[in-house]
C-alpha cells in the first residue's frame, strides 16, 4: 500500500513539510503494519509555490513506475502548473469573484494520453547491458542450509528459527525494516562487493564465499531495483531496471569508479525471500572443510578454498610419481 501526500509550501519549507508529513502519518502506518496483512509506505510530494519541485517528488514518481523521461516531463508540468496558480492567486487577491476554474491546470508539458509500449522484460534489459549473473556473499557455514531452503532474508531466517551467520548487523536490519525491505534478499551486480570486506573485518562472518545467481531470478514477481544501497535516503528504488548505472556496476572494482559515483557501484536487486536453490550456483567447497568450520579450529593448516595453479601442478606430478 502506497500513501501519497501532496504539499505546496514555500520553497524554504520543503524539507520541513516532508518531515511534518512523515511524522503525521507514522501512527497510521504503524496501525496498518499491525494488521500483518498489509505493508504501507508513505511517499511525500512537495512542489514549491514558486515552481520548485522537491527531490522526494521525483523519487516518488520513479517508485510508482514512471520512466526517467516521463518523470522529467511530469515534474516540468507540475512546476509550470503551480507557478501559474500562484501567479493567478496574486493577480486575483483583490477581486471578489474567482474566475480561474478551468484555465489554470493546463500545461504544454503535460503527458499526452497514449498507449504505452509493452514493457521490456527485466532479464532482457540486463542481458542487453552485458549482465550475465548476479551475486550474493555469505559465510561458508551457511552453504548446507542454503542448499536446502534457498537464499532467505534475515527476517525470514529469524521467523523460522534457522541458525545462520548473517551478513547484516542489528542496525542494518532496523534500517531494512524502516524502509519496508526486511522481506527481500539483496543481490549485487558485482562479484567484489565492498560490504563483503566490511562484514569480514567486523567479524560478522569468518570465511566469505560468493554465490552466483542466475538472471532468471529477475523474472520473479515483486522484484525491485535500487541504484545504490537500498537503505540510503537518496536511493531510487523501482520495479524497472533502468535505474541502475550499468557503466558503474561493471567496473573492475570500487576504486576504478570516480569517488562521486561510487555509491552507484553498490546497486542492488531486491528479490522477495526466498531465492530457490535451483537459481543458485555454489562454489566448490569440501564437506570436510565446512565441518571443520562448524566444529571449531584445529591445528592442521586450512585447506585453500580454490587451489592455486602451482598447487594443482604439484599434485599432478605427485600422482604420476605414485603410478610409476
Domain definitions of the chain by residue range: 2-117, 123-281
Which residue shows C-alpha cell 524554504?
12
Give 195-205 pLDDT, tens digit per residue.
Answer: 888 888 878 88
3-state SS, residue 47: strand
* Contact in structure between 228 and 234 (CB atoms under 8 Å): yes
**Residues 285 and 140 sit within 8 Å (Cβ to Cβ):** yes
State the sign of the Cα–Cα–Cα–Cα dihedral 13, 15, 19, 25: positive
> Residue 250: its pLDDT value, please?
92
Q: Is the pLDDT of residue 111 over 80?
A: no
Taking only the tens place, the pLDDT of each residue in 133-186 is 999 999 888 888 999 999 999 888 888 888 888 877 788 888 888 888 889 999
Q: How many helices (H) and strands (E) does the chain have?
A: 11, 9
- How much of the chain is helix, strand and coil, in % rounded to 5? 45, 15, 40
- Hey, what long-range contacts does 319-324 have (CB within 8 A, 24 or more apart)? none
- The C-alpha atoms of residue 167 and residue 137 are separated, in whole angstroms, by 8
The pLDDT score that the predictor gives to residue 67 is: 87
Which one is predicted more confidently, 54 or 299?
54
Cβ(188)–Cβ(229) below 8 Å: no
Contacts of 250 (CB under 8 A, 6+ apart): 129, 130, 131, 189, 190
- Which residue would you say has higher pLDDT here, 112 or 3? 3
Query: Over the stretch 7-64, which tens digit does the pLDDT of each residue have?
Result: 999 989 898 988 899 899 999 999 999 988 888 899 999 999 999 998 889 889 988 8
How many CB atoms neighbour CB 313 within 10 A?
A: 11
Q: Using CA atoms, how far apart are residues 113 and 117, in angstroms rounded to an integer? A: 12
User: Does 104 score more than 50 pLDDT?
Assistant: yes
pLDDT of residue 89: 84
Give the number of other CB atoms < 10 A from CB of residue 285. Answer: 17
Residue 106 pLDDT grade (very low, low, confident, very high; cuts 50, 70, 90)? low
Rg (CA), the chain: 26
Amino acid at each position: 500500500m502506497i500513501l501519497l501526500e501532496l504539499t505546496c509550501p514555500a520553497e524554504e519549507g520543503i524539507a520541513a513539510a516532508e518531515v511534518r508529513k512523515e511524522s503525521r502519518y507514522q501512527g497510521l502506518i504503524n496501525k496498518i503494519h499491525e494488521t500483518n496483512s498489509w505493508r504501507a509506505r508513505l511517499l511525500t510530494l512537495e512542489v514549491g509555490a514558486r515552481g520548485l519541485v522537491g527531490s522526494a517528488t521525483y523519487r516518488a514518481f520513479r517508485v510508482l513506475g514512471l520512466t526517467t523521461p516521463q518523470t522529467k516531463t511530469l515534474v516540468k508540468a507540475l512546476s509550470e502548473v503551480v507557478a501559474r496558480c500562484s501567479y493567478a492567486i496574486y493577480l486575483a487577491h483583490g477581486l471578489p469573484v474567482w474566475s480561474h476554474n478551468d484555465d489554470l491546470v493546463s500545461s504544454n508539458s503535460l503527458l499526452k494520453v497514449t498507449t504505452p509500449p509493452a514493457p521490456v522484460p527485466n532479464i532482457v534489459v540486463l542481458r542487453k547491458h552485458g549482465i550475465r549473473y548476479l551475486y550474493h556473499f555469505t559465510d561458508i557455514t551457511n552453504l548446507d542450509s542454503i542448499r536446502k531452503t534457498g537464499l532467505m532474508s534475515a527476517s525470514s531466517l529469524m521467523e523460522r528459527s534457522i541458525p545462520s551467520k548473517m551478513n547484516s548487523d542489528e542496525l542494518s536490519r532496523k534500517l531494512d525494516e524502516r524502509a519496508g525491505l526486511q522481506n527481500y534478499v539483496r543481490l549485487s551486480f558485482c562479484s567484489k562487493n565492498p560490504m563483503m570486506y566490511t562484514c569480514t573485518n567486523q567479524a560478522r562472518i569468518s570465511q566469505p564465499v560468493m554465490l552466483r545467481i542466475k538472471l532468471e531470478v529477475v523474472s520473479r514477481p515483486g522484484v525491485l531495483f535500487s541504484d545504490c544501497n537500498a537503505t540510503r535516503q537518496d536511493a531510487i528504488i523501482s520495479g524497472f531496471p533502468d535505474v541502475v548505472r550499468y557503466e558503474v556496476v561493471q567496473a573492475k572494482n570500487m576504486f576504478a569508479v570516480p569517488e562521486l559515483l561510487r555509491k552507484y557501484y553498490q546497486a542492488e536487486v531486491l528479490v522477495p525471500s526466498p531465492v530457490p536453490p535451483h537459481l543458485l550456483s555454489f562454489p566448490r567447497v569440501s564437506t570436510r572443510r565446512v565441518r571443520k568450520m562448524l566444529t571449531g579450529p584445529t591445528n592442521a593448516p586450512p585447506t585453500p578454498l580454490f587451489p592455486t595453479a602451482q598447487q594443482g601442478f604439484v599434485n599432478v606430478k605427485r600422482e604420476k610419481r605414485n603410478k610409476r
